[in-house]
Amino acid sequence: MTENIDPRPSYDRALDWAQTLVEGVRPGQLGDPTPCPEFDVRALLGHLVATVTRARAIGEGRPPFAVPSLVEGVADDAWPAALAEAVAAMRPVWADDALLDKEVQVPWGTVPGRAALWGYVNEALVHGWDLAVATGQDPEADADVAEAALAGAREKIPAGMRGEGVPFDAVVEPAPGAGPTEQLANWSGHRRR
């Protein structure tokens, strides 16, 4: 469904939303748990910044695993700046339209650039949802972006494709009235605690 759509505007909107959430984290929340069981809030912030840095590396033709999955050593009050700097460094890399159809190496294989960026839209939305839930912020991103990402995730990450070697837990049944961002997080195996 998202195969021929330019993901850059959606990624921009997802990252803008994530930036707002990062700015809303209070210092006393950094050690709090998140719906992503391997991360507290501080580690989730480090992972969110790392996903943007990986998207940049992929666009530059570097191997994705050359970038750690977690940024560490950021001062407690510097997370908004760290994310903003990562986004500012990543956006120009993906400005070339030709990169959208070029095959790139991602953690899950070799795909066209547009598919890689849709994967990172998913990362920004799902981990943004995790952060919002953990810190008491609005857990719903732009509905159009979340709905497009959800449709793509349902197609590319089917419910039966879970288990060993797959970074997604079993699909979680959404709560009644769950918005599209929460549904996307649930599809990715994330649940409220």
Query: Does 177 map to a domain?
Result: no
What is the model's pLDDT at position 164? Answer: 62
Query: Does 147 map to a domain?
Result: no
Among residues of the chain, what percentage have pLDDT more than 70?
91
CB of 130 closer than 8 Å to CB of 160: no
Query: Does 151 map to a domain?
Result: no
pTM for the model stands at 0.92
Q: Is the dihedral of CA 77, 78, 83, 87 positive or negative?
A: positive
Task: Please count the structural domains in the chain.
Answer: 1
Burial pattern 159-186, b for ≥16 Cβ within 10 A else e, equals eeeeeeeeebeebbebeeebbbbbbbbb
180-187 helix and 113-135 helix, angle to the nearest 10 degrees = 110
Cβ partners under 8 Å of residue 45, min gap 6: 22, 25, 30, 74, 79, 82, 83, 131
What is the model's pLDDT at position 145? Answer: 97
Query: Does 176 map to a domain?
Result: no
What is the model's pLDDT at position 1? Answer: 47
Query: Does 186 map to a domain?
Result: no
Cβ partners under 8 Å of residue 92, min gap 6: none
Residue range(s) defining the domain that contains residue 30: 8-142
CATH number of the domain within which 39 lies: 1.20.120.450
Which ranges of the chain have pLDDT less than 50?
Answer: 1
What is the model's pLDDT at position 153? Answer: 83
Query: Does 167 map to a domain?
Result: no
Q: What span, in angstroms and rounded, lies between the C-alpha atoms of 38 and 44?
A: 9
Q: What span, in angstroms and rounded, lies between the C-alpha atoms of 177 and 168?
A: 23
Q: What span, in angstroms and rounded, lies between the C-alpha atoms of 90 and 34?
A: 26
Q: What span, in angstroms and rounded, lies between the C-alpha atoms of 131 and 39?
A: 10
What is the model's pLDDT at position 51? Answer: 96
Cβ partners under 8 Å of residue 183, min gap 6: 146, 150, 174
Query: Does 136 map to a domain?
Result: yes
Query: Does 22 map to a domain?
Result: yes
